[in-house]
Structure 1
């Protein structure tokens, strides 16, 4: 894969995602509950006009619709996860999850429509750090880097 552009900040991160899925009708996010689920809700918010679904870990039966409410995006009822874009969230690649790329590839085969787009959404280059970029056939990876500091009085 080659780098095609750069961005800074969460707003540009979200806009990069929105641009990548502009032609999609439905997006299914796959990630870890607690770690990835807030990010799925955030990314789904910037494409709130599209249908979005979240799968927890490797449990396809956990698929839930992401719906817009007065408070933002929230998890709704059970949903069919079959989509034209599947977005794999980086928390899946964290070693403590004990999830292997082969397990995710099986889910992708069942969820991603033919000629669909497989995306990676991650921070701190986790997919390349753990070799997932070589084991999943990503069409696109959007990677953000977090830098921070603490101020104290």
Structure 2
């Protein structure tokens, strides 16, 4: 593993993703329902003007793939979409132990989603090294991982 770029904040996270996905034809995010969905919509926002089709697969149920569409209210989940893509973004919520998602099932789904794609790209986006701590690096053949840390301060005035 080699760090090829560092950035900070949400802007850095989004810019890093946009740079990796810029040559994709279709990006399919895979994440947990609820927790990962808004992150997929946020990531999709930075490629909204590119000629890239975008979708979201809840958990590993690729038969439930939905489009992520641009609306006057931002990026939102839309209608059904074909689950095949040339770029897959695995979101870190999948690797959280409480989700009980088997990494082997993810591998099988990746092969199905990427079937027929000429240029395959697998990106992981997580917080606090989730893919590394849950031993998904190796079993999943990531091309890139964007690993971010998040800090928060609650201030009483």
| TM-score with structure 1 setting the length | 0.97
- Give the distance between the partners of 2:103 and 2:118, measured in 1 at CA: 20
Structure 1 residue matching 2:35: 3-state secondary structure: coil
Larger strand share, 1 or 2: 1
Q: 1:2-151, aligned counterparts within 5 Å?
A: 2-48=2-48, 49=50, 50-112=52-114, 113-151=117-155
- Give the distance between the partners of 1:66 and 1:102, measured in 2 at CA: 26
Structure 1 residue matching 2:17: 3-state secondary structure: helix
Structure 1 runs (4+) deviating above 6 angstroms are none
Structure 2 residue matching 1:61: 3-state secondary structure: helix
Cα-Cα RMSD: 0.9
> Comparing 126-135 with 86-95, which one deviates more in the overlay?
126-135
- Give the distance between the partners of 1:4 and 1:115, measured in 2 at CA: 21
Per-residue deviation, 1:58: 1.2
* Aligned mate of 1:152, from 141, 149, 156: 156
Task: List gaps (5 residues or longer) in structure 1.
Answer: none
